[in-house]
Amino acid sequence: SDLQKQEERGELLQPLIFVLLVLCSILLYFKVSLMDPGFVKPEEEEGEDKGQGVVIPQLPGDIKLRRCGYCLVKQPMRAKHCQQCQHCVRRYDHHCPWLENCVGERNHPLFIVYLSVQLVVLLWGGHVAWSGLYFEQSQEWLQHNIFLLVSFLLILIFTIVVLLLLVSHLYLISCNTTTWEFMSHHRISYLRHSELENPFDQGIILNLWRFFC
């Protein structure tokens, strides 16, 4: 049959890989959106001060951990209260409206993996849509190709958005900073009173290693 011939020629391998990537992207989306991003729990308060000086020795000693004015837990360094989630989140990066969840200490690496897989899917889909287009200046051509053309333009827009998100996050990770710290540097006490612009930066390689590993 034609299906067997296509399988023998390896023509079914690419569509299969594409479908698996799409399924992987969907599973990653639900995993990142449903998992605990690193909520601070009241029972974890004991021992919060331990190890802070080892991890970030550049910080002044007079900076003390404070209690959150909303949920009343003692906030670890780099944590922030999220108004949407109604929790303090460890190593808070941002609240993602597309995920309806915070991106924090626990799900940030998976969020990067999700963006990477999504980018591959979009680039592949854009390539398929572009390869199906052949341009002619006629009304009939536009009527037959309008759906494919609109699909390609939408894929292009989403590809640019995801690419910019991924690049910006990888840059911040390589500097060992978060979106919240980058945008609100002047409002955060442990950064405002630090002698260094970024007291958490330990070099690109070590920053990436500690984040992903």
Instruction: Express each pLDDT in 27-83 by its tens digit.
Output: 999 999 999 999 998 876 555 544 444 345 455 555 566 788 888 888 888 999 999
Domain boundaries, the chain: 1-34+106-175
d(CA 99, CA 107): 11
**Annotated catalytic, 24?**
no
Active-site residue (options: 24, 68, 96, 175)? 96
Beta strands 80-82 and 87-89: pairing type? antiparallel
Cβ 129 vs Cβ 152: under 8 Å: yes
Region of 72 on the Ramachandran plot (φ > 0 left; ψ -120 to 50 alpha; else beta)? left
Listed as own residue / partner, the contacts of 92-95 with beta carbons closer than 8 Å and 24 or more positions apart are 92/38, 92/178, 92/180, 93/178, 93/179, 93/180, 94/178, 94/179, 94/180
Mean predicted confidence (pLDDT) in 188-195: 82
Confidence of residue 187 (pLDDT cuts 50, 70, 90): confident
What is the reported pTM?
Answer: 0.83
Instruction: Express each pLDDT in 115-158 by its tens digit.
Output: 999 999 999 999 888 877 666 666 666 677 778 888 889 999 99
The pLDDT, as a whole number, for residue 44 is 67
Vertex 115 angle, CA 111 and 117, to 5°? 115
The pLDDT, as a whole number, for residue 55 is 47
Instruction: Express each pLDDT in 11-31 by its tens digit.
Output: 678 888 999 999 999 999 999
